[in-house]
Amino acid sequence: MINKYKHIVYVLFVSVFALGYGQSTQELQRLRSDYEKFQRDQNQLAMPKGVDQEVEPGTGLPREAQITSYQPMAVDEIMEDEGLKHFGYDFFTRRDEVAFWENLPTPANYLLGSGDELVISLWGETQIREKYTITRDGKIYDGKVGLLTLTGKSMGEARQYLKDQFARVYATLKGKNATTFIDVSLGELRSINVNFVGQIKYPGVYPIHPFSTVITGLIQAGGVDTTGSLRQIQVKRDGSTEETIDLYNYLISGEVSSNIQLRDQDIVVIPPRTSVVEIDSAVVSPGIYESIPGETIYDMIHYAGGRKQDASETVGIHKIKPKSERTNGIIYEAYYLDFESTKLIPAANVDQISVRHLFHEVQQVEIIGQVKVPGQYHYYEGMTFKNLLKLSGGLEDSTYTKSVYLEKAEIIRRNPGSRYDEVISVKLGKILNNDTEKKIVLHNLDRVVVHANSNFFEKEHVQILGEVNIPGSYPLISDNETLQSVLNRAGNFTSKAMKDGIAIYRDRKYFEVTASQATLLSDGEDREDGKVRVAWQNVSVTLMPGDSVVVKESPGTVNVFGQVYNSGLIEFRTGKGLKYYIDGAGGVTEQGNKKSIIVVYANGVVSPNKWYSTPKIEDGATIIVNKKPSSEPFNPTEFASTLASFLSSIVTIMVLSKQL
């Protein structure tokens, strides 16, 4: 985040400077170079510091020293390539810092050097605790003991040496019955300078922690470049090669026997890698690996984590031919071999290894319909129809079995000789009763269909509300139960009921409704909770599951609205006709159409007024007077023009007829 803000400040500074003084492009580039150099200087590795206390105050935890890895370049420049990744290299770069616990035991082979701080403690009869820093000459000085040379000594050697020297002054340190004891420990540590050269990301001399190994040192130095070898890293000391390290042992199996302790002025050499082996397909860790002489293809597959469970026995090899075998300009060769043979084939010159996957095979059957757990199941040789039924929940549950149609189930089987599937009917009840003479064996990819017994499932009840003596929910007791039957079960009408004013509402699933009808129904009065009203003429109408029946109370009125002067309710009078109620509403307006009057009865039946038949008006009826159809006003000019054109046509026809 800090670097981000530095970049912003830099851009603003350069922009203002350029605008104010008109610098040239070359000068701006020079300023940028100076700024980037400043950044690199700020990112240099800090010298490690020791501690006076072995634990953090307040927490009691071991003190931790943080050593930041060397990153003079932007982190986004260290990006993974697409495709296969180089194995092992990101181990050194995917971290921001390396943690060392300051109170770790000093390695047995650690050699003291200038800058190290020693803490010498005497306790018992004599009690002294002093700190000494080893000088550049490798010595410490004690006012009583004198000048002592420690450089090049290990901690074990230093302890014995210091005991002998202090015993010359403090006699109680001597002998088997000594009464004074000595302890020597490291205090503040010096850094050591190690050279990292070769195919490393950022070669150079690095001040690193004195306990560093080759692995932690490489991390602090920024890691190995992918052009470098992880398998032949050399540590040179005093002009000779001290150790050659193969990091694959550490990265793959955790073996660290060759991870030697680095010393001041050591040189770590990363030689170029001599092989690039791509390993892909059915291995645990596909990637780009490195081989060394003497290794086989089997070894390389092992480095990639070995084969996956779905790996076949076939391994593809792509390699570079030796120069002596290159003929006709052909440099590469490819072939396949079985996995066991890879133990005998050297990995030299091989650049690609493909462990093939097993061919995918579909082994499954499916069961759908009225079973507890429908779905796809693994198929095995000899699997029977009854086996699949058991896997899908079985039919041992006697109650659940009643919901299944036992007369017929079906096996849908693919037919290689036809474009259509073969349908095999099965008597499910006989299979459950073990009445079949032989087991029905399934084939791979069979599909079993088990049907439901629709008679067993609960049907929706009929709701009857309003002016009945026992309103409520009633199940239908027969296929064609009528309105009269349900009314009788509901205790029939109350004294207030309007017998012809029963509204029946039915679920839309029983018929189709167009989009325009649905729009009308959504705004009209002939619906209830997504249902549509059914018009009826007598109580023998058949009811359906889910119907709602509302018995209305007699209103004693007739509703007149539409193109009348005073729309509203008019008192119902027995025997009065249509004209009586329209006159009661003020009569038809000028826009009203006397020839388009509709009467809607309380039971939903609609009756239009006709010239030869006038509808009878009953209690609760609704009279609707519609509007006249719109027509354009008479235009005399247009009429005259049309008439003149017509007469002209007639005259022309007459003249032509005489000429003929």
At 342-362, the pLDDT tens digits run 999 999 999 999 999 998 889
List the CATH number of the domain containing 383. 3.10.560.10
Q: Is residue 559 part of a domain?
A: no
- Does residue 223 share a domain with residue 85? yes
Q: Is residue 531 part of a domain?
A: yes
Mean pLDDT is highest, among 253-267, 287-301, 454-468, for: 287-301
pLDDT-wise least confident of 71-85, 311-325, 490-504, 536-550: 71-85
Indicate the burial class of 224 (C-beta count within 10 angstroms; 0-12, 13-18, 19 or more).
Answer: buried
Mean pLDDT is highest, among 191-195, 257-261, 266-270, for: 266-270
Asked whether 86 and 287 are in contact (CB, 8 A), the reply is yes
Instruction: Report pLDDT for 279.
Output: 95
Q: Which residues pair with 503 in a beta bridge?
A: 550
Q: Which phi and psi angles does 205 have, rounded to 5°?
A: -100, 130
From 286, 303, 293, 277, select the one nearest 232 (Cα to Cα). Answer: 293
* 542 has pLDDT over 70: yes
CB atoms near residue 74 (< 10 Å): 10
Q: How confident is the model at residue 99 (pLDDT cuts 50, 70, 90)?
A: low
**Percent of the chain scoring above 70 in pLDDT:** 80
- Does residue 248 share a domain with residue 396? no
Using DSSP's 3-state secondary structure scheme, residue 637 falls into helix
- Does residue 234 share a domain with residue 122? no
Instruction: Report pLDDT for 76.
Output: 37
pLDDT: which is higher, 306 or 13:
306
* 281 has pLDDT over 70: yes
Instruction: Report pLDDT for 327.
Output: 83
- Does residue 207 share a domain with residue 86? yes
- Does residue 283 share a domain with residue 139? no
Q: How confident is the model at residue 469 (pLDDT cuts 50, 70, 90)?
A: very high
- Does residue 283 share a domain with residue 261? no
* 106 has pLDDT over 80: no
Using DSSP's 3-state secondary structure scheme, residue 116 falls into coil
CB atoms near residue 588 (< 10 Å): 18
Q: What is the mean pLDDT of residues 116-123?
A: 91
- Does residue 134 share a domain with residue 250? no
Instruction: Report pLDDT for 94.
Output: 61
Q: Please write down the HEC assignment for all residues of 267-324.
A: EEEECECCCCEEEEECECCCEEECCCCCCEHHHHHHHCCCECCCEEEEEEEEEECCHH
Q: What is the mean pLDDT of residues 409-434?
A: 90
* 73 has pLDDT over 70: no
Q: Which residues pair with 272 in a beta bridge?
A: 228
Instruction: Report pLDDT for 195.
Output: 95
Q: How confident is the model at residue 638 (pLDDT cuts 50, 70, 90)?
A: confident
- Does residue 518 share a domain with residue 468? yes
Instruction: Report pLDDT for 580.
Output: 93
From 222, 186, 225, 209, select the one nearest 262 (Cα to Cα). Answer: 209
Q: How many domains does the chain have?
A: 6
296 conformational bin, left if phi > 0, alpha if psi -120 to 50, beta if neither: beta
Q: Is residue 541 part of a domain?
A: yes
Average pLDDT, the chain: 82
pLDDT: which is higher, 659 or 200:
200
Q: How confident is the model at residue 104 (pLDDT cuts 50, 70, 90)?
A: low
Q: Is residue 388 part of a domain?
A: yes
Q: Which phi and psi angles does 122 have, rounded to 5°?
A: -115, 130
Q: Which long-range contacts (CB under 8 A, 24 or more apart) does 34-42 make?
A: 35/10, 39/3, 39/6, 39/72, 40/72
Mean pLDDT is highest, among 24-38, 270-284, 524-538, for: 270-284
Residue 72 carries which DSSP code?
A: -
From 287, 301, 310, 305, select the one nearest 337 (Cα to Cα). Answer: 301
Q: How confident is the model at residue 657 (pLDDT cuts 50, 70, 90)?
A: low
List the CATH number of the domain containing 107. 3.30.1950
Asked whether 597 and 561 are in contact (CB, 8 A), the reply is no
Q: Which phi and psi angles does 207 have, rounded to 5°?
A: -80, 115
Enumerate the H helices of 433-482 as residue ranges: none
Residue after which a domain boundary falls, among 341, 357, 373: 357
Calculate the dihedral angle through the C-alpha atoms of 638, 640, 642, 645, rounding to the nearest 10 degrees: -140
pLDDT-wise least confident of 109-113, 191-195, 441-445, 607-611: 109-113
Distance between CA atoms of 403 and 389, rounded to whole angstroms? 15
Q: What is the mean pLDDT of residues 446-473?
A: 91
- Does residue 248 share a domain with residue 197? yes
Q: How confident is the model at residue 146 (pLDDT cuts 50, 70, 90)?
A: very high
Cα–Cα distances (Å) from 494 to 466, 555, 585, in that order, read 9, 14, 32
- Does residue 345 share a domain with residue 323? yes
Residue after which a domain boundary falls, among 270, 292, 309: 270
Using DSSP's 3-state secondary structure scheme, residue 24 falls into coil
pLDDT-wise least confident of 1-15, 437-451, 463-477: 1-15
Q: Which phi and psi angles does 463 have, rounded to 5°?
A: -95, 125
* 20 has pLDDT over 90: no
Instruction: Report pLDDT for 396.
Output: 81
Asked whether 603 and 537 are in contact (CB, 8 A), the reply is yes
CB atoms near residue 319 (< 10 Å): 21
Instruction: Report pLDDT for 254.
Output: 83
Residue 81 carries which DSSP code?
A: P
- Does residue 342 share a domain with residue 213? no
Mean pLDDT is highest, among 29-33, 158-162, 653-657, for: 158-162
Q: Is residue 352 part of a domain?
A: yes
Distance between CA atoms of 278 and 260, rounded to whole angstroms? 30
Instruction: Report pLDDT for 644.
Output: 77
pLDDT-wise least confident of 73-87, 113-127, 413-427, 589-603: 73-87
- Does residue 198 share a domain with residue 92? yes
Q: Is residue 558 part of a domain?
A: no
Residue after which a domain boundary falls, among 158, 186, 214: 186
List the CATH number of the domain containing 307. 3.10.560
* 51 has pLDDT over 70: no
Instruction: Report pLDDT for 44.
Output: 43
Q: How confident is the model at residue 491 (pLDDT cuts 50, 70, 90)?
A: very high
Q: What is the mean pLDDT of residues 83-104?
A: 72
From 304, 294, 418, 381, select the one nearest 345 (Cα to Cα). Answer: 294
Distance between CA atoms of 213 and 218, rounded to whole angstroms? 8
Q: Is residue 53 part of a domain?
A: no
* 196 has pLDDT over 70: yes
Quote the tokens at residue 176: 């088997």
CB atoms near residue 395 (< 10 Å): 22
Give DSSP secondary structure letters for 179-240. SEEEEEEE-SPPPEEEEEEESBSS-EEEEE-TT-BHHHHHHHTT-B-TTB-SS-EEEEETTE
Q: Is residue 27 part of a domain?
A: yes
Domain that includes residue 28, residue range: 2-42
pLDDT-wise least confident of 44-53, 358-367, 636-645: 44-53
Instruction: Report pLDDT for 236.
Output: 94
* 21 has pLDDT over 50: no
Instruction: Report pLDDT for 74.
Output: 39
Q: Using CA of residue 242, residue 88, residue 227, residue 329, what is the dihedral sign?
A: positive
